[in-house]
Structures are given as structure tokens and as C-alpha cells.
Structure 1
């Protein structure tokens, strides 16, 4: 646990300083701490948020949280949404108050000795212009001055900054700083990074409460375009429900801001009652939380400066909550950035690896804004009963908007140093650059069914999936044996990119999945180089030598479809899964050198270090 700021020395050093303790900053801090990075996280707020704010967690984000071992508590406490009115979801979403989501991250961070320092105000930020310092992996080129606030102190940055002295502030020198401090990010403004985009005239109100209503689908996610206006129903944990209501009779002034003092939750409910008609909605006696907002659709012009100060989450993209993307996109920013920072800090990769964070998440944010504009247009359109009407949208089109675009499953990163799109036909049903789909496989030692995703924890390791086909075939077994022999060669990727003083499985987790009948499968068919004792498997794999088969289990009759799901033929393939769960490349069994070439594009050869 870090010492309170008031008892720290006047100057300190840290690997990564995270500014902002919302879901983005907390997940990033958690992931970095778990990876052994010296991280500090500060927040300007005096206390945690008690209620409200973001609450929806999409299927892909659930997969990410599961990979960190964080999903069980959220699944236990949250409301599960398995259907949208007019459409069944492919997977399910979970809604839970942001405060409780943040609590999961905070509790996880404590296990690694990291706690949020608050209320702490960053006063100034400077990046050294010394090129040697910026290029040095061990330097601390970013200087941030911090001031701990007194309880109840008014946040007037200019006044506080004028009163800062060496005696009442701290100078932090960081290798990296990440601004996860929201839509009005101080870090982004300190960097001089612009937000590109526009605001709309679309104003919405949000209320969280326990409803009294005869609306039949109050516990189902409902995007509704009524003849009077649009609203969205989101079931929450316990008996809570969140209702988004479009406020059509609100004028937005030239400043593009709303004076919340002119609104009240009762007024939002009155509008909702009009939209609910002929169904009834009683005015609640108690509101859990409420707000009003104008939809803005903007993306930061850059996600980093000199790859030493970076921004994430709402600090670099703002959009409407209609698709429930905000917190999900933001946490996936953190997921994308965490392993890259860890590799650069360990000196396993050059700083240029961080270029891919800006490229991948920045491109996705631009695609998200395009989706959001369509989403807002749909919600603002007149509802029509059927396709015969010329203008407006149907309820089916509204539901399709969610099932097609929301959920985060279809995110695709473009070709880059860490996305090699060669050889797509080797795994014809996979999309290189998208997340690796799940699937059931059997442990070869005892035929226990396991979900492949449970073998791919977010532990910063690359997962090397060897799919050799049917190794009862001598030709396929020979290819697998050749790969095993290659692992011991000095020029092979395992020896070349694993630090000599690190465990053999520090960088690569190797998983072999054969396609054969259970009755023919035996661990004796696998080279000892690709095996470890099966009892080493507990909650997550702890060894880099594991053997499995793609076959149907004895009891539950599950599995046996992984090769078909991935589109891998009997000739087999090698699939590289990045530390964040995305497919990085696919190679033939005969060309393991291509795997080494892929890693040489962004990893440092440790034998030359």
C-alpha cells in the first residue's frame, strides 16, 4: 500500500502514473500491478462515486474481465440481460452500478499493494525534450507536480497552483503517465491534444429508480421509439431500472452546455410518462441517481505524445450511451495498453510498440463514432408500424442496431507490426485482428472438457496454439515433433525472445490441440518438449506445455468443433493469440520460422541483449 502523499518525500519516481480512478484507470492500474509494474493511481475526487454513471458490461468486456479473474463477482451481483425486445442477443450483457464495478478493481489492486490516492490534484505536467532521455528505457522523462487536497477543499486549479510550494507538493518523475481522467481530461488539455468532432442538439435525461409500472417488458432491455419520443429501458441489479429519455423540448445554447440546475428527475419522469402512454409509470418517491446530457461525438487527434504520456477512455473519445459503448470501449483501451506498457517497461519491446495503441484504439474509436451517429439518428427518427411508411424506423431495425454492432465481439484491428494478415486461409473462419473465439477442448491426460478461453488468462504472455491435426497420422506427428525440436534451437522464437534469466514460459504459453478420436489419444504421442504434468493445471495454467484434443467429451457430449469453428483443415496450423486475446497471425506447421519473423517485428531478441 502506498504511503499517503503528505508523508512521501518531496520527489519520487514511478514506472507509470495513472491519473483518474474510474473504470479505465482502475483496470489499467490493476493489470499493470498484476504484471509487476510499479504503478500509482491518483484521483481528484475526495470520495468514490456512490451511485449511477456507467453500468452496462458487454459480452467482450465480460470475456476480458474473466481473463483477469474479475468476472465472477460482477456476474454474481449484476443483472443479466439475455434479450432485447424484438431480438435475442447472441451472448448476454450484465448491468451493475459503476461504483460496484470499480470496487472489484480496487479490491484486486489491493492484493498487489496498490490503492487509489485521493483527493490528489495534478498541478503541472512536463515532458523532457531530451531525445536521449526519451529513448532510454530506464529514464523518467515525465515530471508531474501533485497536491493533496484538504477534505472539502474547493477545486480551483489556478488558485491552488498559485499556492503550491515545495513543502506542500510532490514532484513525481514517471517513465509513463496515462490520463484516464474523463471527458474533460486535464492530462489531454495539458498535452494540447484536440478533440475532433461535433456536439449534437440531442439532449437526454437518465434516471435510476425502482419503477411502478404496467409496462410488460420492464425487466428486458428495450430501445423504444414511441409516437411521442424515444426512450430506453435498462434493467439493473436488484429491482432498479435505468430509463434514458430523449428531451425533445430542450434548447441548447451556443456554449453547448446544459445548466443542470434547471432540471429535476421529476421532470424527466414526466416526459417518460408521456412516452410510456398508454402504459402507466408512477412517479417514484426516491431516485437512486439521475443526470441530463448533450450527445457529443469526438475523438482525440492523438492518443499519446512522444509515447510517454498517453490518454485512455473518455479522455480520448466521447459519444452517446445509446449503444452502451462508453465504459466498455474505455476498459478495452486499458486492456489494449496494459500489456504493451508491460513489455516496454520490461525492455522486451521497444517504445515503438506503443504506436500500435494509438493506431488500434484510435481507429476503432473513429469507427465507433460512425456507429454512434447512426445509432443517434435511429433513436431520433419517427417510429413506423411497418416498411410501407416512407420515413422512420421499425422496432426490428432498432433491435438489429444492437445485435449487429453492440457487444464488442466484432472489433477488428488492422494490419500492423502485431497483426500479420498473411495466410488467412489456414484458419478460414478466424479473422486475423479479431478476438480469438471460444471453444470447448478436452485435456488429453484425462479428457476433461475445458473452455479454451479459460486457458488464455491476461497474464501478458503470447499464447502459441499449435493445431497439428490428427497426430495418429505419421506425417502430422512428424510436423509436430519438428516444432518441438525447433523450440530448443537458439534461433527459434522461444529461445530468441525469452530473457535468459526469466522462466521459460515468461513470454510464450504453448498449447497443443490435436484433432483425433479420444480412443486414439495418448499423451505418449506428444513430444515431452510439449508436455507438462497435467496436475499443474489449477484455476489458470501455470506451465507453458499443455496438450489437448478437439473431440467430443464422454459425459456431457460437448466439444469436438474447434477445428471446424476456426476453419482449420487436417493439415493443421499455428495460431498466435496476443496477450489481449486477439489473433496476431496464423502460420503453417512447416513454417515456424514465420512465427519468429512475426515476433522479430516488435520484440527485442534477448540473446542479443
Structure 2
């Protein structure tokens, strides 16, 4: 058996599925293999927390609504110490601002996978091949030839232009590619157990509880989908030394009861439990041999202390997929693919540095760097660590460095509240005539395209600038003339939508659909003066690529000229007896005829 696709994705977990879903959504052919049979996979447990920024991104991919029908919404938390309610000890689920997704969604991995898979199958008839294990791959004529071993039909050969390893911490793709996983494996073990519980702890279904235990350190209590609860804590060293890998479910349940004291705990059902070791490791490279990429746990591993494993992996998937699709579709230059590692690897490094502290203090111990402080306290250190990394853990504060290929440098004289490399804030707008507010991010979806947000300010004050922007847009020098189908447009006008038409307000035809910033809050959030206006270029992943003045369309073209394919390509049909020439915009082609010489 042999298949040929653009991209082979190894791994049928959330990261692999989202990578394939995005690629298929952007018109790229994919094939997904997962070594475990679906019926024999762990049905529950594993990753559960979906952070606000991840929810924003999944919403742009038409997935959040379905997840919201399943998961448990968490706003805020409650904490206890020795049975007494105390100040909250983490910032992960509180003080989330500047997003309409101001909550955490707790949805077990099984259901997250189901939602993404259903989305993927709408775009790809191939679906996911379960019980299919990557054996080897080689590079042949600029393609990857992968050998897949299936449980039902023997070997399968897949030829692809690229292979993506989203196959977990023991990644076969990473192994075959010779990518080193650098870091350390720590002799600490954590317990996670999910099920339906009974307890006398107050507010047990509040969402997230942080419990301080004198015997077990910091205890995680998280409400899950379908009425289940997750209890997690560091396994006491003594118990691990006594039982080791022979530890049983009953041992884990009894330990959970001890950890929750003085509250009572009874497991009516147990869906899933695990004891796992903690380690922080980071792949030396995210791309090798030009055509091999890794993402998710294949690229970075750490504890679940800040619940960042799946979230970080899903961000990897979104980042990689639009760049890979852009190149494969002929829209973007190959240089764009190098930015996947330069943008995503430093984020994983930050999470690992945070995790080195969390994984120690969760067990009630003091990290090495704090041992000279006589007042050091594990609970205080944990609180401080969560607070210091709140924007990282919610995902809302993740940013990429300015001055890179896809992130322009902001001019020093700009006074905007947003800068290139940051996430583009969501704001409320209104349609012409309709007074019901709409979220900016609901007006377009992730399609692998750059979105140009023309903030036109007050038309009475910016009409000449808007006209100049429109004139450049229609000129031969404009990126509008690029052959790449990689742009979409939204025009935003500050002012009332009570009467009139967009074109009449602006004085020129608008770019894309026009929406009204009735109270000026959208311009204010972006820091754009209504008497000046500005153009915000949003990348396909919702991050800001560049900012330019309404009168400076050339700046936008200079930005896109770095990586967008501008050449127009035309296909022509030349018969053997055709004596006419053909004019091409650029480049040279060779045509073989049935008889006679080649034509160039």
C-alpha cells in the first residue's frame, strides 16, 4: 500500500490532530498516523486545562463552541490550608483580563481529541489511521518516504513533502531524525486521579481548589467535565521507595484520602489514574533536514504543574501549520518555516524554567535558588511563581521578538498600546445600522491569511489619509497585486452607525467589510488616535505582524515583500503546432512536446 500527501503527521493526540486540522483547513493534503488503537487508548485523564489564549485560537478555528458544550468553566478559585479557607494560591484562574474568554475550560483530553478529530474529518476524507506505527523514514528526491506498520494490513508507504512529529515525549520522529532532547530527569513522582467523588470540603464544585497539606505539599483539586474531579499531588518519596512501579490504584486512592485531610474523600468511580515522573527537557532543534518538524511533547516535556503541556503544544500546531500551508500553497517563501523554531522554542524554555520551581515546591520542598533565604516558604514561592508567570500561563502575554522576518520593529515615535509580536486584542464593534456589538475576532476566522485592520478613525479628520491609503492600495506597487491569496481585510470607522453608508462616511470604497467603533473603545484599546488612524497587520495566528500609518502603504508592502511570493504564475497550453509565443510575468518554463524539441 502506498499513499502520497503533502504532510504526514505522526501522533493522533491534540497537537497532531490540530496540526492536521489546520493544514487541511488551509487546503493542504495530510495523513495522520497514531500508533495506539483508538479502542485501546486511555479514554480519560491526561491533559485537561485549556487556557484563555488557547480558547481564543480554537474559536478562530471553529472549535471552542463544541468544547464549551462539554467542559467545566472555571472563573476564580478557592484555597484551603489545614481545612481553613485562605487566600487563593495561584493566579492561573483569576484576574484574567483583556479577553472575552476570561476563564479556564477543564475538558479531558479524550473529549478535546474528539472535537478536533470531528473538525478534521470535515476537511479530510482520510481521517486518522489508528494502530499505525512509524517504523522508519528516509529522504528521496526532496520527499520523505515513510514506512508505517499497521496492525490490520501490514506495511504502508507514505510519500510526503514534510513529516511532523507530534508523537509525544518518546517521539519516534525525533529519534529517527537524531534530535537530542536536552535537560534533566528528576526523581520526583506525581499522582493524578480522576473520578466521581464525595467530599465534605466546602465549594468542592467551585472549579479549582488549591489545598495546602502538611503531609503532601500542594494538592490540586480540579472539577472536570461530566461531573468528574481530578485530584493531584506529589507522591511521598517513602511510598515510592516502598512500592515503586508496583503501586496500585488502591494505594493511590488511600494516599489521596490522606492528602485531603481534614476533609473526607470517597471515590464513587475512578476513570483514570497515573503515577508519573517529573522531568524538564527541550529538543535541541525543532526542524532538521528541512522537511522534518517536531512539536508538542516531542519538542518539550515538563510537569503538569502549570497545565501548559497541551496548551503549548496547541500553540505550536497553530504556529507551524499556517507557515507550512503558506509555503506549500505557494504564498510564502521557505524562510518563513525557519521562524517556527525561533518563535516557539523560547516559549517552551520559559515554561520549563517556571516548571523547575513548581515541581519542587509542589512537594513541599525549597528550590535550590531559595535555600539561602531563612524565610523561604514553599507555598509563598508557589504563589509568587504563578503570579510572575500569569500572562505566560494564560497565553495572553505570549509574544515574539520584534525585528524578525514576520514581526516588524515598531517605530520609537509610535504611542500605540499594542506592538508587533503581541497578540491582537479582541474588541467590540457594530455592523452598519445594527446596534448589537460583535467581537472583532468573530468577524473573520483563521484561514492561513493575513488580516489588514484599517482603523480609519474619525472620517471627518482622516478622510485625506484614508484616500491616500486607498490610492496606494490600487497602485501597481501595492501588495494587492501579489499572486498569493493570503490577504483579507476589515475596515473600522470610529463613530455612529445610525445612518449613512460606509463608502459615504469614508469618501472611498472600503477595504473588506466595514464595522463601526461606536464609542471609540476599539481605537482606544489599540492606542490609535481617532484623528490619525492606523493599519494593523494581523498574522494568520492572530499575532500582530506590523503597524503602519494610514498614509504609509509602502511600509505594509515592504513588510510583505520579505516573505510573500509576489510573482504571478500563469499556466498555458501549447500544442505541437502552436507557433505563438507566451508572455510570462516572470521566470522561465520548459515544455516537452510529443515530437520535436523542447520549447523554453
- TM-score by structure 1 length? 0.83
Rounded to whole Å, the distance in 1 between the matches of 2:363 and 2:4 is 50
Q: Is 1:525 aligned to residue 516 of structure 2?
A: no
Rounded to whole Å, the distance in 2 between the matches of 1:311 and 1:388 is 43
Rounded to whole Å, the distance in 1 between the matches of 2:472 and 2:433 is 24
Q: Please name the residue that 1:591 is paired with.
A: 552
The alpha carbon displacement at 1:426 in A equals: 3.6
Q: Is 1:351 aligned to residue 330 of structure 2?
A: no
Q: Which moved more, 1:363-372 or 1:189-198?
A: 363-372
SS of the equivalent of 1:269 reads: helix
Q: Please name the residue that 2:483 is paired with.
A: 498
Q: Is 1:460 aligned to residue 472 of structure 2?
A: no
Calculate the aligned-residue CA RMSD, in Å: 2.4
Rounded to whole Å, the distance in 2 between the matches of 1:435 and 1:311 is 24
Q: Please name the residue that 1:509 is paired with.
A: 488
Q: Please name the residue that 2:149 is paired with.
A: 147
Q: Please name the residue that 2:566 is paired with.
A: 605
Any residues of structure 2 matched to 1:365-384 within 5 Å, and which? 365-381=348-364
For each residue in 1:366-425, what CA deviation from the matched residue of structure 2 results, as whole angstroms up to 9, or x when unmatched?
111112123223423469xxx995533338547636745421111111131001122365
Q: Please name the residue that 2:213 is paired with.
A: 226
The alpha carbon displacement at 1:446 in A equals: 3.5
CA distance change for structure 1 residues 399 and 176 in 2, over 3 Å: closer, same or farther?
A: closer
SS of the equivalent of 1:279 reads: coil
Rounded to whole Å, the distance in 2 between the matches of 1:602 and 1:331 is 24
Rounded to whole Å, the distance in 2 between the matches of 1:464 and 1:406 is 28
For each residue in 1:550-604, what CA deviation from the matched residue of structure 2 results, as whole angstroms up to 9, or x when unmatched?
114xxxxxxx411111111231111110000001111111211011111111111
Match of 1:178 among 147, 150, 164: 164
Rounded to whole Å, the distance in 1 between the matches of 2:295 and 2:244 is 27
Structure 1 alignment gaps of length 5 or more: 1-9, 135-140, 152-167, 500-505, 532-544, 553-559
Q: Please name the residue that 1:551 is paired with.
A: 518
Q: Please name the residue that 2:62 is paired with.
A: 69
Q: Is 1:37 aligned to residue 25 of structure 2?
A: no
Contact 2:391 2:398 in 1 (8 A): no
Rounded to whole Å, the distance in 2 between the matches of 1:396 and 1:124 is 45
Rounded to whole Å, the distance in 1 between the matches of 2:388 and 2:255 is 25
Contact 2:13 2:113 in 1 (8 A): yes
SS of the equivalent of 1:196 reads: strand
Q: Is 1:278 aligned to residue 262 of structure 2?
A: yes
Contact 2:428 2:439 in 1 (8 A): yes
For each residue in 1:95-115, what CA deviation from the matched residue of structure 2 results, as whole angstroms up to 9, or x when unmatched?
112111111111112212241
Match of 1:47 among 38, 50, 57: 38
For each residue in 1:347-378, what CA deviation from the matched residue of structure 2 results, as whole angstroms up to 9, or x when unmatched?
11222211000111111111111121232234
Contact 1:382 1:392 in 2 (8 A): yes
Q: Is 1:236 aligned to residue 224 of structure 2?
A: yes
Rounded to whole Å, the distance in 1 between the matches of 2:215 and 2:67 is 36
Rounded to whole Å, the distance in 2 between the matches of 1:424 and 1:80 is 41
SS of the equivalent of 2:401 reads: coil
Q: Is 1:450 aligned to residue 441 of structure 2?
A: no
Structure 2 alignment gaps of length 5 or more: 79-87, 97-101, 367-372, 569-584, 587-600
Rounded to whole Å, the distance in 1 between the matches of 2:522 and 2:494 is 9
Q: Is 1:187 aligned to residue 173 of structure 2?
A: yes
Match of 1:313 among 296, 319, 343: 296
Rounded to whole Å, the distance in 1 between the matches of 2:296 and 2:64 is 20
SS of the equivalent of 1:530 reads: coil
Contact 1:13 1:172 in 2 (8 A): yes
Rounded to whole Å, the distance in 1 between the matches of 2:17 and 2:224 is 22
SS of the equivalent of 1:343 reads: helix
The alpha carbon displacement at 1:269 in A equals: 2.4
- TM-score by structure 2 length? 0.85
**Count of aligned pairs:** 537
Contact 1:181 1:315 in 2 (8 A): yes
Contact 1:424 1:430 in 2 (8 A): no
SS of the equivalent of 1:69 reads: coil
Q: Please name the residue that 2:138 is paired with.
A: 126
Q: Is 1:429 aligned to residue 420 of structure 2?
A: no
Rounded to whole Å, the distance in 1 between the matches of 2:358 and 2:415 is 33
Q: Which moved more, 1:392-401 or 1:417-426?
A: 392-401
SS of the equivalent of 2:148 reads: strand
The alpha carbon displacement at 1:217 in A equals: 3.5
For each residue in 1:420-452, what CA deviation from the matched residue of structure 2 results, as whole angstroms up to 9, or x when unmatched?
122365462113212111110122354442100
